[in-house]
Structure formats: C-alpha cells, structure tokens
A and B are shown apart, each in its own frame.
Chain A
Amino acid sequence: MSDVNTAMVQKYRNDFLKEVEENVEEGHWVKMCMQCGVCSGSCPFGPDWAHPPQEIFMMIRAGKRDEVLTTESMWMCTSCYNCIVRCPRELPITHIMHGLANYAHRLGIAPKMNPTRRFSIIFWNNITKTGRVNELALSLKLYFMDGFMSGIKNAMAMASVGIGMLKTKRLNPFALINHKGVKNPKQLHVLLKKAREIEDRRKGIAS
C-alpha cells in the first residue's frame, strides 16, 4: 500500500482533485466539467452505472476518494465514445474513465471481482507473455475463470461456434501450444518493466 492510498481527504477541497490531476490519465480535464449531464444521458450503459460520469466528476471535486476509487462505475465503460463526441466542453471522458479505473487498480483498491477488471488482467497477461494475443488461450482462460464446472458449461454453450470456426479454418487448435509471438519477447518484458518503473515513480506508487 502506498501513502497516497491512506491520505486524508478533506471534503469539498481540492486535495483529491489534485491527486486525480497528477495521477490519472487525462485527469487534468476533470475540473473543466460544467455539469451539464450530456455524458450521462448519452451513455448506452448510463442507467446501469452506480455513478454516471457527471456524478463521478462531482464526486472527485467533493473529495469522495474512497467512493470514486472503489466504485464499479467506470469499469462499465465500453469505449463507445458517445460522451466524448457530445461533451460541449470537449472532455475526453472515455479516457478519463479508463484512467480512473487504471489508477484504482494500480492502488489495489479497485473492486476485485469486477469482470472487466478480471478480463483486463487476463488479457494483459496473455498479450505481454509473447507480445501477441493467443486467442484460443485467452478464450479458454476466460471460460474457466470462474472454475472448472462453469468453464465446461461456457465451452458447451459456445461449442457450435467453435466447430463452425474449426470447419472454416478460423480456429487452429495447435495454436494453444504452437503460438507465434514477437521475435524477442524477453526484450519486450524488459521494456514493459522499465515503463512501469517510470510510471510508478511519477505517480508515487510503491511497486
């Protein structure tokens, strides 16, 4: 745990807003929101969010650090970009949502069982392993992420699709072991590690 994680945040002061500005991708845009609510109204998942974007921006200004960083709301974003297109103040809302989710995840306080978060972790691990996505491995991992039985169930449900893909040569079962990655994945890992170090240092997150 980092020290920012336990920092005291005063309500309706600028402390948390400043933290967001410094640590969240595109976070410096949050103060520019004029609370018109067009983003919330435009979001296809709007009604399913506990806190739509407009509210999240207000919560940041109100200093509700815990509520913002532990909410599932921004994990609901599907990157349709409707809010960005419509925002009269031209806030990159989609990016801010991802930035917030990422920051919460990096602090280790993002909701553990959030499906989007879990998928993201599986995807990240998959792609960084060889530098290219192993689609078959990714699918299997996803099917079985809630245990063996549900994995079998998921696989059965998708069986006809899988067979169809097999028949039309869109799926190669040997890719599971014979996946082609980038030429030198070791070097990629070094590169990613360095990037993470720089980011952590900048954001004050202890790795």
Chain B
Amino acid sequence: MSETKTAAYICKGCGIGDRLDTEQLAKIAESEGKCSLVRRHDFLCNADGVNTIRNDVDSEGVTHVVIAACSRRAKTDAFGFDDVALGRANLREGVIWVRPDTEEARETTQEMADDYLRMACAEIQYMKQPEANQNAGANKHILVVGGGVSGMTAAIEASKAGYGVLLVEKTGQLGGWAVKLHKRVPDREPFADPQDTGASDLIKSVDHDKNITVFLHSSITRTSGAPGQFSIDISAESGETVTENVGSIIQASGFSNYDANQLPELGYGKSPDVVDQAGLEQLAKQAADGPIKRPSDGKEVESVVFVQCAGQRSDKAGHLPYCSGHCCNTSIKQAMYFKDSNPNVDTMVMYDDLRTPGNGEDFYRSAQRKGVIFTKGKTQQVSPINGQLEVKFHDMILGEEAVATADLVVLATGQVANSGVDIEQTTTLDVEDEGAESELPAEDNTSAVEVPVESILNLTYRQGVDLPHLRHGFSDSHFICFPYETRRSGIYTCGPVRRPMDIAQTMEDATGAALKAIQAVENAVLGRAAHPRSGDLSFPTFRREGCTQCKRCTVECPFGAIDEDEQRYPVFHESRCRRCGTCMGACPVRVISFENYSVDTVGQQVKTVDMPDEFDEKPRILVLACENDAYPALDMAAQQGLEYSPFVRIVPVRCLGSVNTIWITDALNSGYDGVMLMGCKKGDDYQCHFVKGSELAHYRMSKIDDTLQQLQLEPERVETHEVEITDIQRVPRLINEYAAKIEEIGMNPFKGF
C-alpha cells in the first residue's frame, strides 16, 4: 500500500446519536484524528452503512478505517474488513452504556467519547494491514509419537480425516499398556463386566491404514522447524536415521508405572505375593479366565486385598501427590477377575475415597453385587507372615486399628507421565551460566518423583529439548480451556502424558489432539496463527540495529518461538508464534513490533488522550485490559448497565504480557493519575490464554516501584489485577474503587508538563 488514506465512520445508532454530540466527534476525527473522510451514519452496521464503507475502500482508496460505534468484540461480521487497517472506538459499551443519562454526566461522557475516537485514530496511524507470514511451510503430515492407545487413536483419527501420519513407537510392538491388560474397564452399557481391551483391533486398523507409516523400535532424535515445516530425525535402534518432514506433532508418550519398590511398608519386594496392578494383569493373563494363582507357590488365590492410593494422593516424600483417576475402576475390574472365575474368593478393596469417573458408578455397583467388599480404611503395613500376607490398616468407619489376612495383595499405584526432560530446571541453569537476564525467578521445583529423563522430542529450540511441564511432571496444557495445547506451537499432547487417565478418556483425548494438529497445519499453511488468536496474520519483527542481544524475548516467549543466532540476536520462527506480544512487552529497547500491534499503536493511544488541567478535578486513569477475559468482562458489565467512573480510558491489549513498561512510564509522565492493569489469572491454575503472559506482567509490575520512586510518585499509581471473564460485577467495582483511591491520593503532579 503506497498511500495512506484514513476515514472515520461515526455511528448514531443504539442511542449513540442521542447521548453524544456526533458533530463534535466528527470535527475531532477531522482535525485531531487527521481523517480525510468523516461520515456519520444512523445505523452503521446495516447493509447501507457497511456498503458505504465498502465503497469508500474500493473507490475512494481508503486504507485505514476508524469505526466509532460499538465494542471491537461486537458486529465483527459486519465490520470484518480484512483488506484495510481497522480501528474501533468503543462508544457504546465503552461510553454510553456505562454512564448515566443525566444532565450532569453529559460533559464527562462526551469527553470519554472524544478521547476514544482520538485513541482509535492514533492507533491506526501506526498500524499496517498485516500480510501473512511469507515463511510458511506447506507440509500437512502429522507425526504421532507413541504407539499406545492414545497414539494409535490419534493416528487413525488424523488418517480418517485425510492426513498422512507417521507413527513412531519406541518398542517393537504397538499397543502400549493396553496389550498388557487382561481386560479393560467397560465403556458401554450396562457397565457391569470387564470387557476386551480392543487393542488388537486398533493395531489391526493401524497396520491396514495406508495413510499411516509405522516406525517401530524408533525414537525421535531431533525436532526442528515450526508448524507446517517440522524436520524430524527418526532413529531406529539399529542406528539407522531417517529425516522426515511433518506439519504438526502429537506427543502421545503416555505414562510409566510408579515404582512400587518405593513402598516397602506395603510389602512390595518383600513378598512376591504383593504385586502392583500391572503385575496382577500379568497374573490374570496367565490364568486366562481360570483361577488366578499367587506367584510365590502357585496356590490358587482364595483371598485378595486391593490397596488403593498406594503411594499416591499423599504428601510423603517419594509419593505421588495426585490421584491417578483410573485405579479405583481398575481395582474393581481386577476384583471381578477373581469373582467371575470363583465367587467364593474373598476380595476386599481398601479405599480412602472411591472415585469412579465416567460410568464407573455402575461398574462399582456391579462389583458390589458380585460380592466384592469395600472397606474404607488406610493401609499402614503389609507383611508376609506364615505364608500369608497380613494387612494392617485403620478402619475409618469403625475408627479402629484392624488386621486382615490375604493370599495376595494388589497395590493400586499411580501413573507417572512420560514427559521427558523438565526443561525448566535445565534452562534455569543455562541462564545462570550465561548471566542472561531472566525476569522470572526460578521456581522451586522440588518434584518428589524421579522420572527417566530421556528427551522425547529432542527439540532444537533455544528453550529446551522437551515440552514444558506444569505440575507433577505432566506436560503443560490447560485442562479445561485448551486441553491439548502445549507451550510449543504445532505440538499437541494427548493421553496420560497430559494428566492421568484411563483408556476411555485417552481415546477421547487423542481424537481432540488429532483435530488440533489438523487445525495447526491448515493455519500454518496459510501463514496464520493458531489458537488463541486463530487466523491472525500478523507476526513479530524486530529492528536488528536497535537490539542489544539481551535475550529477554528468547527466554520469555511462552511458546519457544524465538531462537538465537550465533551473535545472540533473536531468530523469530513466525509459524511458531501465537501473536501474544510477550516479546514486545519484554523488550527493554522496544525494537519488537507487529504490523498492527506495536509499542506505538498503544503508546500513541495513551498519549493522545486529552489531559485536563490539574485544577479541573478530572483525573485520568489508564486501564490496560487483556482482550481475552478482562475486556469481554467490561463489555458484559456495560451490557448489564453497570456504571463506572468516566475518568478511565481503557485500552485493550493482546495479553498483559505484551504490556511494555514504557507505556506505564509514558502515561504517568504525561499526567495520568493512575494505571490499572487487568489480566488473567496466573499461577498453576492459570487462565492466561498465553500461559505465562499474565505472570510475567505481574512480575514486571512488581519491579515498577523503582521507576515510580524515581518520579517521586506513590506506588498506588500502578495496580495490577487478575480478572476472570465472569467478573462482570467485580470489574466496574474495581475501577470505581481505584478511582476513589486516586481521588484520595490526589492528582498526578506531572500534569501539564
């Protein structure tokens, strides 16, 4: 686009025309906003209004459009012009709906509207219509790592949707844990008996699928590239390595059994008759529906005790702190192995809390009908005595210590994720070595469980060889909002590597991950972003001459999209980028920007606001609100007619992580009396759509006190809040409370300078 032509359209619908002086707004757009074309319309989002804009773009050569009407989240279909730079002044949700329709309020309401129009005009002056990433790859193949139930299901689902799949399995056989099971927990009516695992059918369909190429005895020795253009080294045990290209990756590396040798108090290792659930599956397979014999002397088992939560849901050192979800159902199933072959076998399940997800409640009831006995108790000790096992436990219903004897004891141990190397620990070391500035303090990650630390993906990324973990060694993915997403674009996880789960949940999970992988390749091919800014064409660029090689962007990018070259300059992988702008917020010299979102597009909005005199008693509060949760919450508050202070000026940001501290200092220097930041919930149960953005922002703002001190300003002038999308009542209250506080503190002394 050679020439810039800016046009502003002011809508008078939805009461905007009645409440505001649109003539004045038009004048502002023309004079201050430097719009060469200004139109007012009674009803801008109707066909006529939209056509007016369309015609101006097509025949008048308009390249930049300001729409002063409703929130940028409303009428996105009508105003979805994707060939121009578009700015929206939020006059409806941002102004008239949050202000009372009274004579006294008229003046401040009009000031609000004026400012929002100025801001929209300022924003688009620094905006360019983004052109899609030119470095996009076009490979649509999908790599699945792991040949268990999750991996096979993902492969089959992707293949059914028409995508070529490479399936890599470390061992010599597909099927994972499922082929080691005698039977599985039922997944269909009447949920009464164990059923066939179905693993052989899955293996058969994988083997017969022409879209799926299986690599057995193989592992991934190198992963580089980006969505649409990953390059993978697949190495066989024989040492032979092939390089393949794929568009996206599904990591279905599953789980390992918790090492029951860490439970000597429960008799494991002391007697061969104490087995874990996998051990019992093996015994049941040997028995093949006949009577199960105990390992020590081959005697038919007449009594068996199942110890639930063995080494899990416990805060003892070396134990798993979490619930593995499947083990109650599994023990019920295994008790049925005994009862179904001989109802006279005494089977007791010793539980603390019985949790039977899915349709497990029916399965539980069926086991009770078959005579499986459930005892609520905490097992303390299992010891071999006179050829039998003595189980000492605390009966929690009767409130007393008790003893039971059995021929066999089965320990329900938990799942430990096969999530590879915990890169957070290794990279922290790196950073210390090189003395680079990492803004986040190293987390105290004293995970109790040692998992085999062999890398699964061997990523060549700057941030580490595997996917980041969240808690307890499971790979980081939000379990409700965006379950299969990881912090590496184009790489998805499914199955027990994500969180503990059973076969039924795993198959559902794998199907979901397959769909995400397909979305990722389709977006990548078009040079667009994946979740959560799905379809975004912009991508970050940096001004090399200005860069000081501080490495903040490369360290802090939540998605590992930025590598470093030999001179420690950042290397952006556009296809890996999620467009959150965390790099832009991190950059101390402000050289990183997007075509339509930059330090300037927000900074100019901040500066363009009309700053009243100190003695006008009209403070100005800048609110930087995350567009994912805080801004929608504000919009919804407006829809509900909740009012807030007319002194705030709200600027939506892509993520609180993209907030550059220069905006804050500039705002305070130019006379704002306070700055509020609203982002998503952070921490282990984060709601941040970019995982780390909100956390980084909170950390950065905790450091801004120094700056405030230098300016001799009160620390209260900057506030950071965690806001959820449901905080509809709370958000206006926060604003009003802050406005009252600012009034108390008094005006910013920098006004007018």
Listed in ascending order, the chain A residues whose CB lies under 8 Å from chain B are 10-14, 17, 31-32, 34-35, 54-55, 58-59, 61-62, 89
Q: Closest A residue to B361 by CB, please name it.
A: A34
> Which residues does chain A contribute within 8 Å of B395, judged by CB atoms?
58, 62
Are B373's CB and A17's CB within 8 A?
A: yes
Compute how far the CA of A17 lies from the CA of B365 in the bound complex, rounded to whole angstroms. Answer: 17
Compute how far the CA of A12 lies from the CA of B375 in the bound complex, rounded to whole angstroms. Answer: 9
Proximity string of chain B (388-405) to chain A, C-beta cutoff 8 Å, 1 when within and 0 when not: 000000010110001111
Residue from B364, B398, B403 in contact with A58 in the complex, judged by beta carbons closer than 8 Å: B398
Are B346's CB and A13's CB within 8 A?
A: yes
Q: How close is A69's CB to chain B, nearest CB, in angstroms?
A: 16
Residue from B369, B376, B402, B404 in contact with A32 in the complex, judged by beta carbons closer than 8 Å: B369
B707 within 8 Å of A (CB atoms): no
> Which residues does chain B contribute within 8 Å of A89, judged by CB atoms?
365
Residue from A12, A17, A31, A54 in contact with B397 in the complex, judged by beta carbons closer than 8 Å: A54
The size of the chain B interface, using a CB distance under 8 A, is 20
Are A12's CB and B368's CB within 8 A?
A: no
Contacts A54-B397, A59-B398, A62-B395 given; does A11 touch B404 at CB 8 Å: yes
Q: How close is A99's CB to chain B, nearest CB, in angstroms?
A: 19
Compute how far the CA of A58 lies from the CA of B393 in the bound complex, rounded to whole angstroms. Answer: 14
Would you mind naming 16 contact pairs between A and B with Cβ atoms under 8 Å apart?
A: A10-B405, A12-B348, A13-B303, A13-B346, A31-B369, A34-B354, A34-B364, A35-B374, A55-B398, A58-B375, A58-B397, A58-B398, A59-B398, A62-B375, A62-B395, A62-B398
Are A34's CB and B374's CB within 8 A?
A: yes
Q: Shortest 8 CB-CB distances between A and B: which pairs?
A: A12-B404, A58-B397, A32-B368, A13-B346, A14-B346, A35-B376, A61-B373, A31-B368
| Besides A14-B371, A34-B374, 9 other A-B contacts (C-beta < 8 A) | A11-B402, A11-B403, A31-B369, A34-B354, A34-B368, A35-B376, A58-B395, A61-B373, A62-B398
Q: How close is B4's CB to chain A, nearest CB, in angstroms?
A: 70
Which residues 354-373 in B have Cβ within 8 Å of A in the complex? 354, 364-365, 368-369, 371, 373
Are B402's CB and A62's CB within 8 A?
A: yes
Compute how far the CA of A170 lies from the CA of B541 in the bound complex, rounded to whole angstroms. Answer: 102
Compute how far the CA of A174 lies from the CA of B557 in the bound complex, rounded to whole angstroms. Answer: 100
Compute how far the CA of A155 lies from the CA of B355 in the bound complex, rounded to whole angstroms. Answer: 58
> Which residues does chain B contribute within 8 Å of A35, judged by CB atoms?
374, 376, 397
Q: Closest B residue to A51 by CB, please name it.
A: B398
Q: How close is B191's CB to chain A, nearest CB, in angstroms?
A: 16
Q: How close is B374's CB to chain A, nearest CB, in angstroms?
A: 7
Are B375's CB and A61's CB within 8 A?
A: yes
Compute how far the CA of A26 lies from the CA of B182 in the bound complex, rounded to whole angstroms. Answer: 35
Q: Closest A residue to B400 by CB, please name it.
A: A62
Are A12's CB and B371's CB within 8 A?
A: no
Q: Closest A residue to B397 by CB, please name it.
A: A58
Listed in ascending order, the chain B residues whose CB lies under 8 Å from chain A are 303, 346, 348, 354, 364-365, 368-369, 371, 373-376, 395, 397-398, 402-405
> Which residues does chain A contribute within 8 Å of B405, judged by CB atoms?
10
Q: Closest B residue to A88 by CB, please name it.
A: B361
Q: Which of A34, A55, A59 has the most CB of B within 10 A?
A: A34
Q: How close is B465's CB to chain A, nearest CB, in angstroms?
A: 47
Q: How close is A194's CB to chain B, nearest CB, in angstroms?
A: 33
Q: Which of A11, A14, A34, A59 has the most CB of B within 10 A?
A: A14
Q: Closest B residue to A59 by CB, please name it.
A: B398
Compute how far the CA of A32 lies from the CA of B397 in the bound complex, rounded to whole angstroms. Answer: 16
> Which residues does chain B contribute within 8 Å of A34, judged by CB atoms?
354, 364, 368, 374
Compute how far the CA of A12 lies from the CA of B403 in the bound complex, rounded to whole angstroms. Answer: 8
Q: Closest B residue to A13 by CB, please name it.
A: B346
Residue from A14, A32, A55 in contact with B365 in the complex, judged by beta carbons closer than 8 Å: A32
Q: Closest B residue to A32 by CB, please name it.
A: B368
Q: Closest A residue to B344 by CB, please name it.
A: A14
Q: How close is B373's CB to chain A, nearest CB, in angstroms?
A: 5
> Which residues does chain B contribute within 8 Å of A11, judged by CB atoms?
402-404
Q: How close is A154's CB to chain B, nearest CB, in angstroms?
A: 39
> Which residues does chain A contribute within 8 Å of B369, judged by CB atoms?
31-32
> Which residues does chain A contribute within 8 Å of B402, judged by CB atoms?
11-12, 62
Contacts A14-B373, A17-B373, A32-B369 given; does A55 touch B404 at CB 8 Å: no
Compute how far the CA of A56 lies from the CA of B181 in the bound complex, rounded to whole angstroms. Answer: 37
Q: Which of A54, A55, A58, A89 has the most CB of B within 10 A?
A: A58
Compute how far the CA of A59 lies from the CA of B402 in the bound complex, rounded to whole angstroms. Answer: 12
Q: Closest A residue to B364 by CB, please name it.
A: A34
Compute how far the CA of A118 lies from the CA of B388 in the bound complex, rounded to whole angstroms. Answer: 46
Compute how far the CA of A14 lies from the CA of B403 in the bound complex, rounded to whole angstroms. Answer: 14
Q: Closest B residue to A18 by CB, please name it.
A: B371
Q: How close is B652's CB to chain A, nearest CB, in angstroms?
A: 49
Compute how far the CA of A17 lies from the CA of B403 in the bound complex, rounded to whole angstroms. Answer: 17
> Which residues does chain B contribute within 8 Å of A10, judged by CB atoms?
405
Compute how far the CA of A32 lies from the CA of B362 in the bound complex, rounded to whole angstroms. Answer: 12
Residue from B368, B374, B375, B397 in contact with A55 in the complex, judged by beta carbons closer than 8 Å: B397
Compute how far the CA of A143 lies from the CA of B356 in the bound complex, rounded to whole angstroms. Answer: 54
> Which residues does chain A contribute within 8 Å of B364, judged by CB atoms?
34
Compute how far the CA of A19 lies from the CA of B365 in the bound complex, rounded to whole angstroms. Answer: 21
Q: How close is A61's CB to chain B, nearest CB, in angstroms?
A: 5
Compute how far the CA of A58 lies from the CA of B346 in the bound complex, rounded to whole angstroms. Answer: 16
> Which residues does chain A contribute within 8 Å of B375, judged by CB atoms?
12, 58, 61-62
> Which residues does chain B contribute within 8 Å of A61, judged by CB atoms?
373, 375
Compute how far the CA of A146 lies from the CA of B303 in the bound complex, rounded to whole angstroms. Answer: 50
Q: How close is B392's CB to chain A, nearest CB, in angstroms?
A: 11
Compute how far the CA of A13 lies from the CA of B344 in the bound complex, rounded to whole angstroms. Answer: 11
Compute how far the CA of A54 lies from the CA of B403 in the bound complex, rounded to whole angstroms. Answer: 20
> Which residues does chain A contribute within 8 Å of B403, judged by CB atoms?
11-12
Compute how far the CA of A150 lies from the CA of B219 in the bound complex, rounded to whole angstroms. Answer: 91
Compute how far the CA of A32 lies from the CA of B371 in the bound complex, rounded to whole angstroms. Answer: 9
Q: Closest A residue to B348 by CB, please name it.
A: A12
Contacts A13-B346, A14-B346, A58-B395 given; does A31 touch B373 at CB 8 Å: yes
Q: Which of B365, B373, B374 has the most CB of A within 10 A?
A: B373
Compute how far the CA of A58 lies from the CA of B395 in the bound complex, rounded to whole angstroms. Answer: 9
Q: How close is B410's CB to chain A, nearest CB, in angstroms?
A: 15
Q: Closest A residue to B398 by CB, please name it.
A: A58
> Which residues does chain A contribute within 8 Å of B376, judged by CB atoms?
35, 58
Q: How close is A52's CB to chain B, nearest CB, in angstroms?
A: 10
Q: Closest A residue to B343 by CB, please name it.
A: A14
Compute how far the CA of A14 lies from the CA of B397 in the bound complex, rounded to whole angstroms. Answer: 18
Compute how far the CA of A34 lies from the CA of B375 in the bound complex, rounded to whole angstroms. Answer: 9
Compute how far the CA of A13 lies from the CA of B345 in the bound complex, rounded to whole angstroms. Answer: 10
Q: How close is B345's CB to chain A, nearest CB, in angstroms?
A: 9
Compute how far the CA of A89 lies from the CA of B368 in the bound complex, rounded to whole angstroms. Answer: 11
Compute how far the CA of A13 lies from the CA of B305 in the bound complex, rounded to whole angstroms. Answer: 10
> Which residues does chain A contribute within 8 Å of B374, judged by CB atoms?
34-35
Q: How close is A11's CB to chain B, nearest CB, in angstroms?
A: 6
> Which residues does chain A contribute within 8 Å of B398, judged by CB atoms?
55, 58-59, 62
Q: How close is A176's CB to chain B, nearest CB, in angstroms?
A: 49
> Which residues does chain B contribute within 8 Å of A14, judged by CB atoms?
346, 371, 373
> Which residues does chain A contribute within 8 Å of B346, judged by CB atoms?
13-14
Q: Which of A10, A13, A17, A55 has the most CB of B within 10 A?
A: A13
> Which residues does chain B contribute within 8 Å of A55, judged by CB atoms?
397-398
Q: How close is A22's CB to chain B, nearest CB, in angstroms?
A: 13
> Which residues does chain B contribute within 8 Å of A58, judged by CB atoms?
375-376, 395, 397-398
Q: How close is B393's CB to chain A, nearest CB, in angstroms?
A: 9
Q: Closest B residue to A58 by CB, please name it.
A: B397
Are B354's CB and A31's CB within 8 A?
A: no
Compute how far the CA of A110 lies from the CA of B369 in the bound complex, rounded to whole angstroms. Answer: 29
Q: Closest A residue to B404 by CB, please name it.
A: A12
Q: How close is B200's CB to chain A, nearest CB, in angstroms?
A: 35
> Which residues does chain A contribute within 8 Å of B397, judged by CB atoms?
35, 54-55, 58
> Which residues does chain A contribute within 8 Å of B348, judged by CB atoms?
12
Compute how far the CA of A9 lies from the CA of B348 in the bound complex, rounded to whole angstroms. Answer: 16
Compute how far the CA of A17 lies from the CA of B372 in the bound complex, rounded to whole angstroms. Answer: 11
Q: Which of B365, B375, B397, B398 has the most CB of A within 10 A?
A: B397
Q: How close is A33's CB to chain B, nearest CB, in angstroms?
A: 8
Compute how far the CA of A17 lies from the CA of B369 in the bound complex, rounded to whole angstroms. Answer: 13
> Which residues does chain B contribute within 8 Å of A32, judged by CB atoms?
365, 368-369
